[in-house]
Structure 1
């Protein structure tokens, strides 16, 4: 019997003090076409639910390659830390980078000493062919979808690989992981993450999606989704499924068919966190909304993005503030929550005309107040499930990246520097520390505690404290009062102490 060659793949943790609790979909999908009769595939995710590091290093000693998949930010640092340890165990092991960051900046990634090969874009077929070549010692010349360093350390770009229908790929190889390690809790239901499509046909000005998938989109068939969900739900007693698609609602017909599959198979689940665009959702038929409610749709994540029409136009969102409010009211009729995702600090042209820090701050203050005004209109009783707010993040490959550079943003020059480029703190020259503080206060304290369902999320034994926090948060929101954030600091202190005690 021929001994199988070993392939080790790793999904780094997203933040320094956070671990992955969701299924590592990105690395599972890229291993789906590997010939398991030839290869022993080992998949690891940075989780605190098992000792992944010692097991990973053990398998890396005799592997044919080590692959990491990263978003921009701390995942890069965690990947580099692991690569350094892997290279001690196996100094000649080829290091492969995939995922969003490497696909956006393959040249810069390969300029790092921590990268030998980059898989660009959709990786399923590319990674399978790559492992075959590495195992057999064949040249990487001509292998579509990669860039690599040749024997002379020269960076070589092969032809891109055409975007392929994911229905051509087998189901996620969940047998490579212990699924129970990635079951989370959502409203006392066992939650699992799943994905039904790849890509997005739209071109929002802040998004890197058009650079990676070239505005293409393909979705799994409804039957395939139904079959996958039935296996996962029944085997693991799942009560809530989170769909992590970049845009679930591209095809309304497919949405209807997926809902019918869930109903027909009597899955009895709730599902949500599903991503959609405002105008798409508003234009859907009543029949679709009814099917979504009947099949268990609980909430939809919507890129509302801005409370200013100027902001929506800047990012080419093709919608309006009125549309956002209308969508929230429409979804309420079907008992479906809308979670708006918003951002401040967009690179408006008016920043160029601002002559002082006070004038720049006035622009961001106007932007933030417009968001709160829109939320007041959409949620007069604060009956939302969640509100997400971020500071704008300039990513390479989209129109707003260059606009940000024009305003003084200095992007990192090498892979290692991007590790410290985080969605919560980018040091944009037109954004003050005060605004970052307000965003954190809103996300950590004011939004969660202003919600009329705030008690559902907190320990009943501390009800008097939570009641005080609730009233304080409502006052701060109403009066746009962010000074002396004592409650926010107390809350964060409590969370930090609790986190230390749980380690």
Structure 2
């Protein structure tokens, strides 16, 4: 009988050393699907499951086939490099494999670092399994699609991309590899919620998105029946009352949404589902009967990209929607009482003149704020998310951004602070020379602070697991003060003297309540 090999997988901190990520490590579960079914020993190590995850990964690395890490741009790189260096120091010959959005976008630059041996590009379920098989049997990596790697001479080789493969070809997500109770969290629409995905990729070509770079505007998904059946099984197995679906584009077609919803009803699943990504134009054209069916099946919350309050900007983004589509979508959600998560993106480099860009960014912010006011008047149950545009290499506006003055990182470690996190708001480095520091702080302040308090579901979500009644009372008292200040700021568009934002940001990092 063949000896079963061991694979170690590590989830780094995504935000900072003080603000933890409590979500399910879906990328690590995804690449475990095939290997777990084949009988490999999979050790998934996260800050949620282990008090000292770095010590644990070093302990488990002994005798492993490889160590895999999932890496996003930002602090995740810093944490992943720390672990990779530690592994190479103790086990120099143990292969270190990086996957995730950042190495998928910049595979060659990632491999320049001496502590990384292999990069998985894009969808990793099949690719990672083939890499593990080859490493275990000492075979060459040269014929594996979707990877970049270093050969024995330390030369970097990039293999051809792997086309997206149907998720129906893979075993179910192996949640049992985790101490799953620690990952079941309260959401806006449920007390016991788990993360799940039904598709990969997106067929659209928005100018700001990394999907066209990584997945080449392709989309693959589970059959709606299989997705609904798996959710039903998860609900019964883990006593869930809700499921968070994190697809890049779930509502790819009305027929798929109908079949999925009907299957949940036929299964008598009785579960709420939400945070589901769609497009306002497409969903505004759904029949009323479809919306009724989705609501009946448990749909509670939809994530959409409104992105801008100016149709000219939406056209510039190649978004394929209009402001009117967003308002129509808001009216439909109000009618069926389905919460909206709506993202906005501002700060595009639309002129070679920096001073003119500053003015254009102010106009983008103003038009977005006006649209948000209109949406709130139609329906208050909306969580707004505001972001500052920051281009990635190979994305649509990257070359234009470099001409105007994009401050690019000069090595892998430097990408750790490429994004502006809330922790950096009072000591921020704005890499976009066409955006002022005041504009960047206003955007972050609106998204992280003001829109948090304007969301009517925030308090319940944050305190969902707080059992101490006295502590909860004081939290509510403080929350109401924060809400009053945030509402005043929003009503008067007042973003100066952000002492309250500083206090909120400190509590957000250290109170351990904001589990996202």
* TM-score in same-fold range (> 0.5): yes
Secondary structure of the 2:345 match is strand
| 1:442 maps to 2:439 | no
CA spacing shift, 1:118–1:245, aligned 2, 3 Å: same
| 1:4 maps to 2:24 | no
Secondary structure of the 1:312 match is helix
The answer on whether the counterparts of 1:61 and 1:89 sit within 8 Å (CA) in structure 2 is no
Deviation, 1:155, is 1.1
Q: 1:280 aligns with which of 265, 282, 289?
A: 282
Supply the distance in 2 between the matched residues of 1:204 and 1:331 (Cα, whole angstroms): 24
Deviation, 1:444, is 3.4
Moved more, 124-133 or 409-418: 409-418
Deviation, 1:80, is 0.8
Deviation, 1:480, is 1.6
User: Which residue number corresponds to residue 511 of structure 2?
Assistant: 498
The answer on whether the counterparts of 1:98 and 1:118 sit within 8 Å (CA) in structure 2 is yes
Where do 1:124-139 residues align within 5 Å? Answer: 124-139=125-140
CA spacing shift, 1:363–1:298, aligned 2, 3 Å: same
| 1:78 maps to 2:79 | yes
Supply the distance in 1 between the matched residues of 2:236 and 2:278 (Cα, whole angstroms): 27
User: Which residue number corresponds to residue 209 of structure 1?
Assistant: 211
Q: 1:317 aligns with which of 307, 316, 319?
A: 319
The answer on whether the counterparts of 1:21 and 1:183 sit within 8 Å (CA) in structure 2 is no
Supply the distance in 1 between the matched residues of 2:280 and 2:419 (Cα, whole angstroms): 27
Deviation, 1:134, is 0.6
User: Which residue number corresponds to residue 419 of structure 2?
Assistant: 422
| 1:199 maps to 2:201 | yes
Supply the distance in 2 between the matched residues of 1:257 and 1:89 (Cα, whole angstroms): 52
Supply the distance in 2 between the matched residues of 1:48 and 1:443 (Cα, whole angstroms): 29
Where do 1:94-493 residues align within 5 Å? Answer: 94-187=95-188, 189-349=191-351, 352-354=352-354, 356=355, 359-380=356-377, 383-424=380-421, 426-451=430-455, 456=460, 459-461=472-474, 465-493=478-506
CA spacing shift, 1:291–1:14, aligned 2, 3 Å: same
Moved more, 456-465 or 187-196: 456-465
Moved more, 317-326 or 199-208: 317-326
Please give the per-residue CA displacement for 1:424-457, whole angstroms capped at 9, x wherever unaligned: 4652111111112212321233223334566656
Supply the distance in 1 between the matched residues of 2:68 and 2:396 (Cα, whole angstroms): 30
The answer on whether the counterparts of 1:65 and 1:93 sit within 8 Å (CA) in structure 2 is yes
The answer on whether the counterparts of 1:392 and 1:423 sit within 8 Å (CA) in structure 2 is no
Supply the distance in 2 between the matched residues of 1:30 and 1:448 (Cα, whole angstroms): 33
Deviation, 1:64, is 1.3
Supply the distance in 2 between the matched residues of 1:37 and 1:194 (Cα, whole angstroms): 22
**Pairs aligned (count):** 496
Deviation, 1:227, is 2.1
Please give the per-residue CA displacement for 1:306-356, whole angstroms capped at 9, x wherever unaligned: 12222211110011112111111111111111211012211223xx234x4
Gaps of 5+ in 1: none
Deviation, 1:98, is 1.2
The answer on whether the counterparts of 2:199 and 2:220 sit within 8 Å (CA) in structure 1 is yes
The answer on whether the counterparts of 2:453 and 2:483 sit within 8 Å (CA) in structure 1 is yes
Moved more, 470-479 or 370-379: 470-479
Deviation, 1:123, is 1.3
Deviation, 1:214, is 1.1
Secondary structure of the 1:247 match is coil
CA spacing shift, 1:30–1:483, aligned 2, 3 Å: same
CA spacing shift, 1:405–1:2, aligned 2, 3 Å: same
Gaps of 5+ in 2: 422-428, 464-471
Supply the distance in 2 between the matched residues of 1:48 and 1:136 (Cα, whole angstroms): 31
CA spacing shift, 1:117–1:436, aligned 2, 3 Å: same
The answer on whether the counterparts of 1:383 and 1:453 sit within 8 Å (CA) in structure 2 is no
The answer on whether the counterparts of 1:10 and 1:43 sit within 8 Å (CA) in structure 2 is yes
Deviation, 1:247, is 0.3
The answer on whether the counterparts of 1:306 and 1:312 sit within 8 Å (CA) in structure 2 is yes
Please give the per-residue CA displacement for 1:360-384, whole angstroms capped at 9, x wherever unaligned: 4332221111111001111127713
Q: TM-score, normalised by structure 1?
A: 0.93
